[in-house]
Structure 1
Amino acid sequence: MPGQRLPMRQVREVLRLKHVCGQSGHRIAAAVGISRYTVAEYLRRATVVGITWPVPPELDDAALERKLFTPPFVAEPTRPQPEWTRIHAELRRPGVTLLLLWEEYRAGQPDGYGYSRFCDLYAEWRGRLSPTMRQAHPAGERLFVDYAGQTVAVIDAATGATRAAQIFVAALGASNLVYAEARWSQGLADWIGCHVNTFAAFGGVTRQIVCDNLKAGVTAACRYEPGINRSYAEMAAHYGTAVVPARVRRPRDKAKVEVAVQVVQRWILARLRHRRFFSLADLNGAIRDLVTDLNARPMRHLGISRQALFERLERAVLLPLPAEPYAYAEWHRCRAGLDYHIELHGHFYSVPYRLARTVIEARVTEATVELFHGGTRVASHARSPQCPGQTTTPGHMPSAHRRHAEWTPTRLLQEAAAIGPATAELIKALLADKPHPEQGFRAGLGILRLVRGYGPTRVEAACRRGLDIGARSYGSVQSILRNNLDRLPTQSASEEKPQLHSNIRGSRYYH
Structure 2
Amino acid sequence: MSSVSYRDVLRHRASGLSLQKTADACGCARSTVQDIVQLAKKRDVGWKDVEDLTDAEAYELVRGKPEQVELYAPIDYKKIYDEMTRDRTMKMTILWEEYVIEAVESDKRPYQYSRFCEKYHVWCDANDIAVIRRYIAADIGEFDWAGKKLTICNPDAGELADVPVFVACLPYSQYVFVRAYPDMTMESWLQAAADSFAFFGGCPRIVVIDNLRTGVTKHTSEEIVLNRTFREFAEHYNVAVIPHAPRRPRGKNSVESSVDKFANKIRLELRKQRFFDIDELNEAVAAKAAELNAKPFQKRASSRAEVFLEREKPCLQPLPERPWERAIWSPKVKVGKNYHVLCAADKVLYSVPHRFVGKEVEVRTTPHAVEVYCEGERIAIHARQRTHMPEDGPITNPEHRAKHHADYLDHDSEWYRHEAAKTGPATTKVIEGFLSEGLAEEQGWGWCEKLLKQRASHSSAAIESACEKALSILANPSYKAISTLIKNTAKSTELDDPAGGNPWAIRRY
TM-score of the superposition, structure 1-length normalised? 0.81
Q: Is residue 39–residue 67 contact of structure 2 (8 Å, CA) maintained in 1?
A: no
Q: Structure 1 residue 43: deviation in Å?
A: 1.0
Residue 479 of structure 1, aligned match among 464, 478, 481: 481
Q: Structure 1 residue 253: deviation in Å?
A: 0.7
Equivalent residue runs for 1:240-319 within 5 Å:
240-319=238-317
Work out the CA distance in 2 between the residues paired with 1:366 and 1:121: 40
Work out the CA distance in 1 between the residues paired with 2:116 and 2:424: 93
Q: Is residue 212–residue 246 contact of structure 1 (8 Å, CA) maintained in 2?
A: yes
Q: Structure 1 residue 423: deviation in Å?
A: 3.0
Q: Is residue 191–residue 216 contact of structure 1 (8 Å, CA) maintained in 2?
A: no
CA change 1:415–1:217 in 2 (3 A) is closer
| Partner residue in 2 for 1:504 | none
- The alignment partner of 1:138 has SS state of coil
| Partner residue in 1 for 2:24 | 30
Q: Is residue 370–residue 377 contact of structure 1 (8 Å, CA) maintained in 2?
A: yes
| Partner residue in 2 for 1:114 | 110
Please give the per-residue CA displacement for 1:369-389, whole angstroms capped at 9, x wherever unaligned.
222221222232222343444
Residue 73 of structure 1, aligned match among 66, 70, 78: 66
Q: Is residue 167–residue 263 contact of structure 2 (8 Å, CA) maintained in 1?
A: no
| Partner residue in 2 for 1:18 | 13
CA change 1:364–1:266 in 2 (3 A) is closer
| Partner residue in 2 for 1:457 | 465
| Partner residue in 1 for 2:341 | 342
Q: Structure 1 residue 483: deviation in Å?
A: 7.8
Work out the CA distance in 2 between the residues paired with 1:192 and 1:434: 60
Q: Structure 1 residue 44: deviation in Å?
A: 0.9
Residue 44 of structure 2, aligned match among 50, 59, 66: 50
Work out the CA distance in 1 between the residues paired with 2:447 and 2:237: 59
| Partner residue in 1 for 2:206 | 208
- Which amino acid in 2 is paired with 1:380? I
- The alignment partner of 2:252 has SS state of helix
Equivalent residue runs for 1:471-510 within 5 Å:
476-479=478-481, 482=484
Q: Is residue 25–residue 39 contact of structure 1 (8 Å, CA) maintained in 2?
A: yes
Say whether residues 1:423 and 2:427 are aligned partners.
Answer: yes
Residue 412 of structure 1, aligned match among 400, 410, 416: 416
Q: Is residue 422–residue 464 contact of structure 1 (8 Å, CA) maintained in 2?
A: no
Q: Is residue 450–residue 459 contact of structure 1 (8 Å, CA) maintained in 2?
A: no
- Which amino acid in 2 is paired with 1:462? A
- The alignment partner of 2:161 has SS state of strand
CA change 1:477–1:64 in 2 (3 A) is same
CA change 1:105–1:18 in 2 (3 A) is closer
Q: Is residue 420–residue 460 contact of structure 1 (8 Å, CA) maintained in 2?
A: no
- The alignment partner of 1:304 has SS state of coil
| Partner residue in 1 for 2:120 | 123
Q: Is residue 363–residue 369 contact of structure 1 (8 Å, CA) maintained in 2?
A: yes
Equivalent residue runs for 1:43-192 within 5 Å:
43-56=37-50, 60-70=54-64, 72-76=65-69, 81=74, 84-85=77-78, 110=107, 112-114=108-110, 116=112, 119=116, 123-124=120-121, 126-128=123-125, 129-192=127-190
Q: Is residue 187–residue 216 contact of structure 1 (8 Å, CA) maintained in 2?
A: yes
Q: Is residue 13–residue 32 contact of structure 1 (8 Å, CA) maintained in 2?
A: yes
CA change 1:114–1:406 in 2 (3 A) is same
Q: Is residue 35–residue 66 contact of structure 2 (8 Å, CA) maintained in 1?
A: no
Work out the CA distance in 1 between the residues paired with 2:153 and 2:194: 26
CA change 1:319–1:429 in 2 (3 A) is farther
Q: Is residue 27–residue 224 contact of structure 2 (8 Å, CA) maintained in 1?
A: yes
Q: Structure 1 residue 97: deviation in Å?
A: 5.6
Work out the CA distance in 2 between the residues paired with 1:50 and 1:265: 49
Work out the CA distance in 1 between the residues paired with 2:52 and 2:313: 38
| Partner residue in 2 for 1:379 | 380
Work out the CA distance in 2 between the residues paired with 1:264 and 1:121: 31
- Which amino acid in 2 is paired with 1:180? V
Q: Structure 1 residue 395: deviation in Å?
A: 4.8
Point out where structure 1 has 5 or more consecutive residues left out of the alignment: 488-511
Structure number with larger C-alpha Rg: 1
Q: Structure 1 residue 67: deviation in Å?
A: 3.2
CA change 1:193–1:419 in 2 (3 A) is same
CA change 1:152–1:437 in 2 (3 A) is farther
Q: Bigger shift: 383-392 or 334-343?
A: 383-392
- The alignment partner of 1:55 has SS state of helix
CA change 1:65–1:439 in 2 (3 A) is farther
- The alignment partner of 2:324 has SS state of coil
| Partner residue in 2 for 1:446 | 450
Q: Bigger shift: 300-309 or 234-243?
A: 300-309
Report % sequence identity. 28
Please give the per-residue CA displacement for 1:98-145, whole angstroms capped at 9, x wherever unaligned.
6556655666x64x3336479457535544342222212111111111
Work out the CA distance in 1 between the residues paired with 2:467 and 2:59: 61
Q: State how many pairs are aligned.
A: 471
CA change 1:29–1:407 in 2 (3 A) is same
CA change 1:105–1:436 in 2 (3 A) is farther
Q: Is residue 426–residue 464 contact of structure 2 (8 Å, CA) maintained in 1?
A: no
Q: Structure 1 residue 75: deviation in Å?
A: 3.7
Q: Is residue 171–residue 177 contact of structure 1 (8 Å, CA) maintained in 2?
A: yes
| Partner residue in 2 for 1:507 | none
Please give the per-residue CA displacement for 1:70-103, whole angstroms capped at 9, x wherever unaligned.
4x33442556756655776699999996655665
- The alignment partner of 2:229 has SS state of helix
Work out the CA distance in 1 between the residues paired with 2:6 and 2:408: 44
Work out the CA distance in 2 between the residues paired with 1:83 and 1:57: 40
Work out the CA distance in 2 between the residues paired with 1:58 and 1:194: 28
- Which amino acid in 1 is paired with 2:447? A
Work out the CA distance in 2 between the residues paired with 1:224 and 1:399: 49
Please give the per-residue CA displacement for 1:453-492, whole angstroms capped at 9, x wherever unaligned.
55321124435655x25x6xxxx232355389x99xxxxx
Work out the CA distance in 2 between the residues paired with 1:57 and 1:395: 33
Equivalent residue runs for 1:353-364 within 5 Å:
353-364=354-365
CA change 1:303–1:373 in 2 (3 A) is same
Q: Structure 1 residue 255: deviation in Å?
A: 0.6
Q: Bigger shift: 361-370 or 440-449?
A: 440-449
